[in-house]
Each structure stands twice: as structure tokens, then as C-alpha cells.
Amino acid sequence: MYKGKRVCVVIPAWNEEEPIGHTVKNFLTQEVDELIVVDNNSTDNTAKVARRAGATVVPEPIQGYGAAIRRGLREALNRGYDLIIITEADQTFLGTDIPNLLEHIDKHHFVVGTRTATPYLEEGANMGLFLVVGNIAVAKLLGLLHGYPPLTDVGCTLRLIRREMLEAILPELDAEGAAFSPQMIVKVLQHSGKMKEIPVHYLVRVGEAKITTSKRKAFGTGLKMIRVILGL
Ligand SMILES: Nc1nc2c(ncn2[C@@H]2O[C@H](COP(=O)(O)OP(=O)(O)O)[C@@H](O)[C@H]2O)c(=O)[nH]1
Ligand SMILES: [Mg+2]
């Protein structure tokens, strides 16, 4: 609960038995009323470990980062939550950043993290120069085209959205993969949502990476993101 508003955390998870237990405990902070882990066809013990750590687990058979998050967001709306936070299973984000996101939600519909603020990066985190520059470049394209020029990241999962804004944009979100992340930002801006980007901590991943596994893959992901930003 935060200022009388019910708070929910959504985590997409695909074979994350190693990091998920710690992540769930780390994000079940005093403000959080429920944490929903979306099990995206895991073949390991992700669901069991998440449940044992205190999460509600729901399945999503359609494979993909976007599909998994959408399922979690629908679930959060159905359960009546006012404020919805999204994060990852892999211990790269910190529950201690939740108050920093919440601090801005009275005045904004959407608060999104950026992982390109170097003092917030842990040494060895998967955000080297290539990804920092790439994210900032694509973010500037998004920001200038859609009306939020300060934007410096397009792929940061850690974010917070108000219920009424989520209800407005959810029917328009259809990206299955990583392009879901910038698509959500674009839709908030198209709905004239007030948004704010804040720096968040970004740590070394625990367990096996699924999206940003090589420069080549990251480049491909970037192109898909640009397509979504251009509305193609
Ligand atoms: N890439 C990917 N991630 C998924 C999928 N389903 C759920 N996820 C979760 O989405 C988050 C992002 O994936 P991750 O490998 O950390 O991507 P990275 O942060 O770009 O390295 C993790 O919590 C995954 O477990 C899927 O089908 N593909
Ligand atoms: Mg990750």
C-alpha cells in the first residue's frame, strides 16, 4: 500500500529458478501488496521457487517477454491494483528503487527507469558502451518523435504505471518480444500521459540471459524497437 493505493509487482519469468527466489523476496517490500510472477513455459522449478518465496504464480503459454508482461498486467488490473510495477526475474534490479519510483507517481501517470546513468551501474552489469550508446540513441529518436526528449533508455523493464493509464493503453500493446518495452512508452505518450524517467540501479545478472546475449542479437532487438517507435 502506498498513500492508500494498492501496489502490485509483475515479473515475467522464463527458466529463472536460480534468481527468482531472491528477486521475489527483494521486491516484496513494505509498499507491495502482491507480487505476480508470470511463468512463461519454464521447464525448470521457476514456479515452485517463486511460490515458496511468496509470489502468486500465473502461467502464460504464449512465449515472449511482451506476452508474459501483458498477461501479468491483465492479472493486476483484474485484481484491482491501483499502481503496477514491472521488473525482471534476474536480480538485475533492486526493490530499494521502488520508493524512488513511487515518489513521482502523484504527479505522473508513468515512471520509467533508465539504466544508462553510469553511477547506478554495477561493475560487470550488462550495460557496456555499445548498449548505453544504442539505448540512448534509440531513446532520443523515441523522445523527439513522441514528445519526451529527456528519455535515455528504451529497454528498462523496471517501471511503474497508474491503473487508469494502463487500462487505456493495454488494448493497444501487441509487441510479443523486447519491443514491448518502448511500445509501452510510446502508447503512454500517445495517450498524453505525463511520464518521468529516473535512474535506477542495474546489477550483474544471475542466471542465463535471454534477450541481450550478443551484440548481434542486441542490434536486431534495436531494429525491432525502432520499427515500433516509427509506428511501422
Ligand atoms: N527474452 C525473453 N524473456 C522472457 C521471456 N519470457 C519471460 N521472460 C523474462 O523477461 C525478462 C527479461 O529477459 P532477460 O534475459 O533478463 O533479458 P535482458 O535483461 O535483456 O538480458 C526475464 O525476467 C525473463 O525471464 C521470453 O520468452 N523471452
Ligand atoms: Mg535481464
Q: Could you confirm whether domain 7-230 is CATH 1.10.3720.10?
A: no
Those residues whose beta carbon sits under 5 angstroms from the ion ligand 2 are 88, 90, 92
Going from N- to C-terminal start, the domains of the chain cover 7-230
What does pTM read for this prediction?
0.97
Q: Answer for the pair 13, 38: CB distance below 8 angstroms, yes or no.
A: yes
Task: Find the 217 Cα to ligand 2 centroid distance in Å.
Answer: 14
Ligand 1, pocket residues at CB < 6 Å: 12-14, 16, 40, 63-65, 68, 88-90, 126, 209-212
Q: Which amino acid is at 175?
A: A
pLDDT by residue for the chain (232 residues), tens only, comes to: 999 999 999 999 999 999 999 999 999 999 999 999 999 999 999 999 999 999 999 999 999 999 999 999 999 999 999 999 999 999 999 999 999 999 999 999 999 999 999 899 999 999 999 999 999 999 999 999 999 999 999 999 999 999 999 999 999 999 989 999 999 999 999 999 999 999 999 999 999 888 777 888 889 999 999 999 999 8
Task: Find the 25 Cα to ligand 1 centroid distance in Å.
Answer: 19
Q: Is the dihedral of CA 109, 112, 117, 120 positive or negative?
A: positive
Q: Answer for the pair 101, 198: CB distance below 8 angstroms, yes or no.
A: yes
CA angle 102, 138, 92 (to 5 degrees): 45
Residue ID of nearest Cα to ligand 1 atom 12: 88
